[in-house]
Amino acid sequence: MCGRFAITLPNDAMAQLFSARPANTLPAVPNFNVCPTNQVHVVRAGDSGRRLNPLRWGFLPHWYKSETAGPLLINARAETLADKPAFRAACRERRCLIVATGFYEWTKTEQGARLPWYIHRKDGAPIAFAGVWQDWGKDDARQGTCAIVTTAANRNLSVIHHRMPLILEPDEWPLWLGEVGRGAARLLQPGAEDVLEFYRVDPAVNSNRASGSNLIEPVPA
Protein backbone atom coordinates (compact mmCIF):
# COMPACT_ATOMS: atom_id res chain seq x y z
CA MET A 1 0.00 0.00 0.00
CA CYS A 2 0.99 3.64 0.08
CA GLY A 3 -0.22 5.82 2.92
CA ARG A 4 2.32 8.65 2.94
CA PHE A 5 4.84 10.06 0.48
CA ALA A 6 7.14 12.98 -0.28
CA ILE A 7 7.40 15.34 -3.25
CA THR A 8 10.35 17.69 -3.62
CA LEU A 9 10.50 18.38 -7.36
CA PRO A 10 9.62 22.03 -8.23
CA ASN A 11 6.32 22.49 -10.03
CA ASP A 12 7.90 23.84 -13.21
CA ALA A 13 10.33 20.93 -13.33
CA MET A 14 7.42 18.51 -12.89
CA ALA A 15 5.58 20.11 -15.78
CA GLN A 16 8.66 19.86 -17.98
CA LEU A 17 9.39 16.25 -17.04
CA PHE A 18 5.88 15.10 -17.90
CA SER A 19 5.40 17.49 -20.85
CA ALA A 20 2.30 18.79 -19.08
CA ARG A 21 0.70 22.22 -18.80
CA PRO A 22 0.65 23.16 -15.09
CA ALA A 23 -2.37 24.55 -13.27
CA ASN A 24 -1.97 27.76 -11.30
CA THR A 25 -3.22 26.09 -8.11
CA LEU A 26 -0.64 23.35 -7.63
CA PRO A 27 0.31 22.44 -4.04
CA ALA A 28 3.43 24.01 -2.58
CA VAL A 29 6.64 22.01 -2.73
CA PRO A 30 8.68 20.58 -1.17
CA ASN A 31 6.35 18.53 1.02
CA PHE A 32 8.09 15.73 2.89
CA ASN A 33 4.91 14.36 4.45
CA VAL A 34 2.06 14.15 1.96
CA CYS A 35 -0.95 12.66 3.75
CA PRO A 36 -4.34 11.32 2.66
CA THR A 37 -6.88 14.05 1.75
CA ASN A 38 -4.01 16.43 0.84
CA GLN A 39 -3.90 17.94 -2.62
CA VAL A 40 -1.36 16.08 -4.75
CA HIS A 41 0.29 16.59 -8.15
CA VAL A 42 -1.50 14.59 -10.86
CA VAL A 43 -0.78 14.26 -14.58
CA ARG A 44 -3.79 13.62 -16.83
CA ALA A 45 -4.11 13.42 -20.60
CA GLY A 46 -6.77 15.17 -22.65
CA ASP A 47 -7.60 16.39 -26.13
CA SER A 48 -5.35 19.41 -25.66
CA GLY A 49 -2.43 17.43 -24.21
CA ARG A 50 -1.28 16.61 -20.71
CA ARG A 51 -2.20 18.72 -17.71
CA LEU A 52 -0.58 18.85 -14.28
CA ASN A 53 -3.36 19.48 -11.76
CA PRO A 54 -3.99 19.30 -8.02
CA LEU A 55 -6.35 16.51 -6.94
CA ARG A 56 -7.49 15.34 -3.53
CA TRP A 57 -5.70 12.15 -2.49
CA GLY A 58 -8.69 10.04 -1.50
CA PHE A 59 -10.93 8.81 -4.30
CA LEU A 60 -14.61 9.71 -3.88
CA PRO A 61 -17.04 7.51 -5.87
CA HIS A 62 -19.91 9.42 -7.43
CA TRP A 63 -22.45 7.86 -5.04
CA TYR A 64 -20.78 9.24 -1.89
CA LYS A 65 -23.11 11.87 -0.41
CA SER A 66 -20.24 13.44 1.54
CA GLU A 67 -16.47 13.11 1.77
CA THR A 68 -16.91 10.84 4.80
CA ALA A 69 -19.81 8.75 3.48
CA GLY A 70 -17.63 5.67 3.06
CA PRO A 71 -14.09 4.34 3.44
CA LEU A 72 -11.18 6.63 2.61
CA LEU A 73 -10.02 5.19 -0.73
CA ILE A 74 -6.39 6.25 -1.02
CA ASN A 75 -5.29 3.01 -2.72
CA ALA A 76 -6.83 0.82 -5.41
CA ARG A 77 -5.70 -2.81 -5.73
CA ALA A 78 -4.48 -3.67 -9.22
CA GLU A 79 -5.91 -7.17 -8.97
CA THR A 80 -9.49 -5.91 -8.56
CA LEU A 81 -9.26 -2.50 -10.23
CA ALA A 82 -11.39 -3.48 -13.23
CA ASP A 83 -14.09 -5.15 -11.08
CA LYS A 84 -14.63 -2.96 -8.02
CA PRO A 85 -17.64 -0.66 -8.54
CA ALA A 86 -15.74 2.32 -7.11
CA PHE A 87 -12.90 2.04 -9.64
CA ARG A 88 -14.33 0.11 -12.59
CA ALA A 89 -15.12 3.08 -14.84
CA ALA A 90 -12.03 5.04 -13.78
CA CYS A 91 -9.83 2.07 -14.67
CA ARG A 92 -11.12 2.26 -18.25
CA GLU A 93 -11.51 6.00 -18.72
CA ARG A 94 -9.74 8.04 -16.03
CA ARG A 95 -6.18 6.90 -15.44
CA CYS A 96 -3.48 9.30 -14.26
CA LEU A 97 0.05 9.61 -12.90
CA ILE A 98 0.62 10.78 -9.33
CA VAL A 99 4.04 12.37 -8.84
CA ALA A 100 6.32 11.65 -5.87
CA THR A 101 9.96 11.73 -4.89
CA GLY A 102 9.67 8.80 -2.49
CA PHE A 103 7.21 7.10 -0.16
CA TYR A 104 7.09 5.67 3.33
CA GLU A 105 6.31 2.22 4.65
CA TRP A 106 6.39 0.82 8.17
CA THR A 107 7.52 -2.33 9.92
CA LYS A 108 6.85 -3.24 13.56
CA THR A 109 9.15 -4.35 16.33
CA GLU A 110 8.25 -7.27 18.57
CA GLN A 111 7.06 -4.67 21.07
CA GLY A 112 4.70 -3.12 18.50
CA ALA A 113 6.67 0.06 17.78
CA ARG A 114 6.18 1.36 14.22
CA LEU A 115 9.47 1.85 12.35
CA PRO A 116 9.30 3.99 9.18
CA TRP A 117 11.29 3.38 6.02
CA TYR A 118 11.77 5.80 3.14
CA ILE A 119 11.67 4.24 -0.33
CA HIS A 120 12.94 6.01 -3.44
CA ARG A 121 14.38 5.33 -6.87
CA LYS A 122 18.04 4.32 -6.97
CA ASP A 123 18.64 6.67 -9.90
CA GLY A 124 17.24 9.66 -7.99
CA ALA A 125 14.52 10.29 -10.57
CA PRO A 126 10.98 11.25 -9.52
CA ILE A 127 8.42 8.47 -9.14
CA ALA A 128 5.26 8.22 -11.22
CA PHE A 129 2.60 6.22 -9.38
CA ALA A 130 -0.18 4.76 -11.51
CA GLY A 131 -3.44 6.30 -10.39
CA VAL A 132 -7.13 6.64 -11.15
CA TRP A 133 -9.24 9.75 -10.71
CA GLN A 134 -12.85 10.83 -10.28
CA ASP A 135 -14.58 14.22 -10.22
CA TRP A 136 -16.95 14.42 -7.25
CA GLY A 137 -19.47 16.91 -5.93
CA LYS A 138 -21.56 19.62 -7.52
CA ASP A 139 -21.13 23.26 -8.49
CA ASP A 140 -18.65 25.12 -6.25
CA ALA A 141 -18.02 21.98 -4.20
CA ARG A 142 -16.91 19.94 -7.23
CA GLN A 143 -13.39 18.59 -6.91
CA GLY A 144 -11.04 16.10 -8.50
CA THR A 145 -10.05 13.08 -6.42
CA CYS A 146 -7.60 10.23 -6.96
CA ALA A 147 -6.21 6.95 -5.64
CA ILE A 148 -2.83 5.24 -6.07
CA VAL A 149 -2.89 1.81 -7.71
CA THR A 150 -1.05 -0.85 -5.69
CA THR A 151 0.27 -4.32 -6.51
CA ALA A 152 1.85 -7.20 -4.62
CA ALA A 153 5.30 -6.13 -3.49
CA ASN A 154 8.25 -7.30 -5.52
CA ARG A 155 10.87 -9.44 -3.79
CA ASN A 156 13.01 -6.44 -2.88
CA LEU A 157 10.26 -4.58 -0.98
CA SER A 158 8.45 -7.60 0.42
CA VAL A 159 10.78 -7.57 3.43
CA ILE A 160 9.03 -4.35 4.49
CA HIS A 161 5.45 -4.82 3.29
CA HIS A 162 3.41 -7.19 1.15
CA ARG A 163 2.01 -4.36 -1.03
CA MET A 164 3.62 -1.53 -3.00
CA PRO A 165 2.51 1.28 -5.31
CA LEU A 166 2.46 0.53 -9.03
CA ILE A 167 5.40 2.55 -10.37
CA LEU A 168 5.52 3.32 -14.09
CA GLU A 169 8.56 4.05 -16.23
CA PRO A 170 8.53 6.94 -18.75
CA ASP A 171 7.98 4.65 -21.73
CA GLU A 172 4.85 3.31 -19.98
CA TRP A 173 3.26 6.69 -19.27
CA PRO A 174 1.54 7.10 -22.66
CA LEU A 175 -0.11 3.68 -22.43
CA TRP A 176 -1.35 4.23 -18.89
CA LEU A 177 -2.67 7.70 -19.78
CA GLY A 178 -4.55 6.32 -22.78
CA GLU A 179 -2.53 8.24 -25.33
CA VAL A 180 -1.51 5.23 -27.43
CA GLY A 181 -4.56 2.99 -27.48
CA ARG A 182 -5.52 -0.04 -25.44
CA GLY A 183 -3.52 -2.51 -23.38
CA ALA A 184 -2.90 -0.68 -20.09
CA ALA A 185 -3.92 -3.81 -18.16
CA ARG A 186 -0.55 -5.38 -18.93
CA LEU A 187 1.10 -2.73 -16.74
CA LEU A 188 -0.74 -3.94 -13.61
CA GLN A 189 2.14 -5.91 -12.12
CA PRO A 190 5.11 -5.21 -9.80
CA GLY A 191 7.98 -3.31 -11.35
CA ALA A 192 11.60 -4.33 -11.80
CA GLU A 193 13.50 -5.47 -8.71
CA ASP A 194 16.42 -3.08 -9.10
CA VAL A 195 14.59 0.25 -9.39
CA LEU A 196 13.99 1.11 -5.72
CA GLU A 197 16.03 1.22 -2.55
CA PHE A 198 15.09 2.04 1.04
CA TYR A 199 16.44 3.00 4.45
CA ARG A 200 15.17 3.68 7.96
CA VAL A 201 14.07 7.20 8.86
CA ASP A 202 13.12 8.93 12.09
CA PRO A 203 9.81 7.92 13.73
CA ALA A 204 8.91 11.63 13.68
CA VAL A 205 7.21 10.91 10.35
CA ASN A 206 4.71 8.71 12.20
CA SER A 207 2.85 11.96 12.90
CA ASN A 208 0.88 13.43 10.01
CA ARG A 209 1.77 16.87 11.41
CA ALA A 210 5.51 16.38 10.99
CA SER A 211 7.33 18.36 8.31
CA GLY A 212 10.81 19.18 7.06
CA SER A 213 13.60 17.58 5.11
CA ASN A 214 14.81 15.74 8.22
CA LEU A 215 11.93 13.28 7.67
CA ILE A 216 13.81 11.64 4.81
CA GLU A 217 17.24 11.64 6.44
CA PRO A 218 18.55 8.12 7.13
CA VAL A 219 18.90 6.88 10.70
CA PRO A 220 20.63 3.68 11.92
CA ALA A 221 18.48 0.60 11.33
**Residue 84 resides in a domain:** yes
**Residue 203 resides in a domain:** no
Q: What is the pLDDT of residues 85-107, one digit of tens each?
A: 999 999 999 999 999 999 999 99
The pLDDT of 116-125, averaged and rounded, is 97
Q: What is the pLDDT of residues 123-138, one digit of tens each?
A: 999 999 999 999 999 8
**Residue 214 resides in a domain:** no
Buried b (16+ CB within 10 A) or exposed e, 79-90: eebeeeebbeeb
**Residue 152 resides in a domain:** yes
**Residue 96 resides in a domain:** yes
pTM (2 decimals)?
0.97
**Residue 117 resides in a domain:** no
Range of the domain at 143: 5-102+125-192
Give catalytic residues, as residue numbers: 2, 105
- Percent pLDDT > 90 in the chain is 90
Phi, psi of 121 (to 5 degrees): -75, 140
**Residue 185 resides in a domain:** yes
**Residue 71 resides in a domain:** yes
Indicate the burial class of 46 (C-beta count within 10 angstroms; 0-12, 13-18, 19 or more). Answer: exposed
CATH of the domain at 96: 3.90.1680.10
- Residue 190 CA to chain centroid, in angstroms? 15
Query: What is the count of structural domains for the chain?
Result: 1
